[in-house]
A and B are shown apart, each in its own frame.
Chain A
Amino acid sequence: MSRVVVVGAGPAGMAAARAAAQAGTDVLLIDSGARLGGQYHRQDTRAGTERFTLPARVEHLAESVVWALEPVAGGHRVHVRTGPADGPGRSGRSIDTPALVLATGAFDRALPFPGWDLPGVFTAGAAQALAKGQGVRVGERVLLAGTGPFLLPVARSLLDVGAEVAGVLEAGDPVTGWLARPGGGLSAGIGKLGELAGYASVLARQRVPYRRRTTVIEAHGTDRVESVTTARLRPDWTVVPGSARRVEVDAVCVGFGFTPQLELAVAARCALADGFVTVDAAQATSVPGVFAAGELTGIGGAELSAAEGEIAGASAARLLGAHPAPPVRALRKARRGRRFAAALDAAYPVRDGWRTWLREDTLVCRCEEVTYGELRGAAREREVCGGRALKLVTRAGLGPCQGRVCGRAVAELTGIPDAAATFARRPIAAPIRLGELAEEPTL
């Protein structure tokens, strides 16, 4: 029980592990990837060397998923499987810890639109992971659509692997957004802005068009994407009549912000606000012995995540009796970063008008093939008003992704407020084979 356990080895988790180890405590760092860095630093798995080094006190458990979390006396029990997800012979382990740091990050939010279930439609994050992790380009000619600054580094990654980027379509109008909130946020994000300006100039050199208030409203193709329809958007994201254009591409990448990876925090019963984990200045959640850092607590980029991770790691070490120096610089960075995050959030909102892109036959839940019409019909005719009943009546969110992709869309399209929270409740946080579950745990 004497180790800090950190889940997630992205910028937040690595910083947490480092800080806790530097304070003199042993750390177990668990991550599903083969290499450190998470989605942000996605390392090329073909490269021979590990880019990051961690203090000796940190044990890195790679290719490991935490499939369940349960409270035990004095802390939490973390249930882990290690080994390639699809291969046989994953090994199981359960670790008890009084100080748990959750740094599970976030994944791209995709909005449903006609044709989004065609092969060739990727989330921006998946396209970037393939490019950076394996050198694979998702298409020869690719269009990016969505909202937020993250589209820029994805475009950059696609260019790096030799794809032609037909354009980056920003659904919002971020300049107006930024100007509408003068002061704090903007200046707090100077470093971040510099990074983004760097991407923008790369795209400009490569003559990649960047269009605001424009998005992909439909993908076409028989077996895979052959073209898409783009359209200009009004401020509420409804389509400007007559603005539809057909663009020939063989892949489209979409990203409308991020959804935090909440299942472990929910399993630990951490309090949430606005869909993110609530933390105090020490990154402590509402649950004693559980800390959270990074995108779980709000979307603010790698720098903020690392600062929060450092604070969380120090707090976790302190709980184990260490006396780390107060992480003053990290605290300052985190404060600034949060102002930037708030400004970012305000600059790139997802507007309700996206719902008008859907048709009755547009799939909302791709796993269970539930259409928009079926979803609305079931909710209306059977007067379903709760998330759990909605799932069972429509089957939306019951498939392999367990609502990770469609949960928020289902909640918004049906107007059932607790649907998103219901979809995040996943006691089995990652798939596990029945035979693995049946094994006696090794503590």
Chain B
Amino acid sequence: MVSPDVVVAGAGMIGAACAEALSAAGLEVTVLDRGAIAAGTTAAGEGNVLVSDKAPGPELELARVSRRRWPELLAALREELGPALAEAEWEAKGGLVVATTPDAAASLSRFAAAQRAVGIRADEIAPADAAALEPHLTRKVTAAVHYPEDAQLQPVLAATTLLAAVRARGGEVRAGTEVLGVTRDSAGRVSGVRTDRGTIACRAVVNACGPWAGSFAARVGAPINVLPRRGMILVTGPLPPGTVRRKVYDADYVGAVASGEADLQTSTVVESTRAGTVLIGSSRERVGFDDTVRIDVLRELARKAVALFPVLADVPVMRAYGGFRPYAPDHLPVIGADPRLPGLWHATGHEGAGIGLAAATGRLLADLFTGAVPEVDPEPFRVDRAAVIDGEAAA
């Protein structure tokens, strides 16, 4: 085997996006995953590609670029791989955020105004117009904002499409191979990765291990603060088309994403999938990697979803699933080179937004790697910021 230039550790959405972008830049890439591909956080999310839930700032900037890049990327891959393998159920369905109390209406209005000021389409619409967009929505809506740019894709399909592109360009994807550590050359640079199936020589390694990125980083001797946050989703049986048309969420979602405070938060997100099922999210729990299903969490999700769409009360829930989101204490992704260990790169910490942010993240990492001028300012995501490398992890 020819030695790859880069080994990407983690075959989830972020690892797949980094590997795709690196291989598009002409690099030889090998992707490793200790488990199955696209089987961790990627297989546990809704597939959100959102601008609506982010306040103005670096993450919204990354989201905006990523939202533009996703359809371009999928279109290019359709040319390269053919339509079947590039199918990722992309749907530019738009989002609708609603408030149901006067207080929430006021803060939603302020939030949307701030987003508009930085160029996001956030159209404030009357409750009657919201009802026209979503006929089954509760009549208790006090304010609504329509975000036509919000979109959705099926994350496992999207990740496997990106990995197929990597393979088509001569790269390799190996499941069931765990990175145990790195080897270094005399100058201290990464010269390879040690795995449970032997050592692979390479110039660089990308840590795209999602919620497990913290333990990966510790293992290679450059710890970062990335922690898991548990989330649960309910899935209903298939419903008639049009029951839920967009991504609809309660304005309380905005507060939950940005907050690191409570140990359990739930905020309502209701949306249909192409198969006709309705996904109901989402909860946020800080319970480490404990994957015990808590019925009170599911109850809270159900309660809020029925409040938003009363018609859902009689709909059967078919399943519930959960996963772990990776987050850094300052709630910003970690993307870039690790100055403590030349040749080590990180791409993680996207919390619940990794699917949406993946397209821009992969490109940003590849641009930084090749020395191209990135479209997004990389500074806010740098690895050696205090929240990421100070404190417990360094200890």
Contacts and interface: CB of A to CB of B under 8 A. Distances in A.
Contacts of B280: 434
B106 interface: no
B315 A267 contact: no
B18 to A, nearest CB: 18
B197 interface: no
B37 A431 contact: no
Interface stretch (B110-118, B305-313, B343-351, B362-370): B305-313
A431 to B, nearest CB: 4
22 contacts: A70-B293, A382-B161, A383-B160, A383-B167, A386-B39, A388-B36, A389-B36, A392-B157, A393-B157, A395-B275, A398-B275, A400-B237, A426-B319, A427-B293, A432-B317, A433-B315, A433-B316, A434-B315, A434-B317, A435-B306, A435-B314, A438-B299
A118 B135 CA distance: 37
Interface in A198-242: none
Interface in A390-410: 392-393, 395, 398-400, 402
A434 B156 contact: no
Given A384-B37, A393-B160, A437-B234, 10 more contacts: A381-B85, A381-B164, A383-B160, A388-B43, A389-B37, A398-B277, A427-B322, A434-B302, A434-B305, A438-B305
B47 to A, nearest CB: 10
Interface in B303-343: 303, 305-306, 312-322
Contacts of A438: 299, 302-303, 305-306, 313
Given A68-B295, A70-B292, A383-B160, A434 B313 contact: yes
Nearest to A440: B299
Interface in A59-85: 68, 70-71, 77, 79
Contacts of B38: 384, 386, 389, 392
Nearest to A403: B319
A385 interface: yes
Given A77-B295, A434-B236, A438-B303, A428 B317 contact: yes
B43 to A, nearest CB: 5
B154 interface: yes
A17 B392 CA distance: 52
B298 interface: yes
Nearest to A88: B314
Interface in B59-116: 84-85
A38 B152 CA distance: 45
B317 A433 contact: yes
B182 interface: no
B314 A389 contact: no
Given A70-B295, A437-B302, A438-B306, A432 B85 contact: no
B35 interface: yes
A368 interface: yes
Interface in A362-388: 368, 381-388
Nearest to A269: B292
B176 interface: yes
B59 to A, nearest CB: 26
Interface in B364-385: none
Interface residues of A, number: 37
Given A384-B36, A386-B35, A389-B43, A428 B318 contact: yes
Given A389-B39, A427-B293, A437-B299, A382 B85 contact: yes
Interface string B221-242: 0000000000000101100000
Nearest to B298: A437
B9 to A, nearest CB: 17
B173 interface: yes
B175 A382 contact: no
Contacts of B320: 427-428
B163 interface: yes
Given A392-B156, A402-B319, A433-B315, A368 B275 contact: yes
Interface string A407-443: 0000000000010000000111001111101111100
A439 B303 CA distance: 8
A389 B16 CA distance: 14
Contacts of B322: 427
A395 B298 CA distance: 23
B275 A386 contact: no
A434 B43 contact: no
B346 to A, nearest CB: 24
A382 B36 CA distance: 12
Contacts of A392: 38, 43, 154-157
Contacts of A267: 293
Interface in B202-251: 234, 236-237
A64 B321 CA distance: 24
Nearest to A426: B319
A87 B359 CA distance: 47
A79 B294 CA distance: 12
Interface in B158-189: 160-161, 163-164, 167, 173, 175-176
Contacts of A398: 275, 277
Q: Which 5 A-B residue pairs are closest in the complex by CB-CB distance?
A: A386-B36, A435-B313, A382-B160, A392-B156, A437-B302
Nearest to B236: A434
Contacts of B37: 383-386, 389
A87 to B, nearest CB: 12
A431 B236 CA distance: 9
B317 A384 contact: no
Nearest to A418: B36
Contacts of A386: 35-39, 43, 175
Q: Which of A384, A435, A440 has the most CB of B within 10 A?
A: A435
A352 B313 CA distance: 44
A225 to B, nearest CB: 26
A418 B39 CA distance: 12
A368 B319 CA distance: 15
Nearest to B161: A382
B302 A385 contact: no
B300 to A, nearest CB: 9
A427 B320 CA distance: 6
Contacts of B236: 434
A385 B295 contact: no
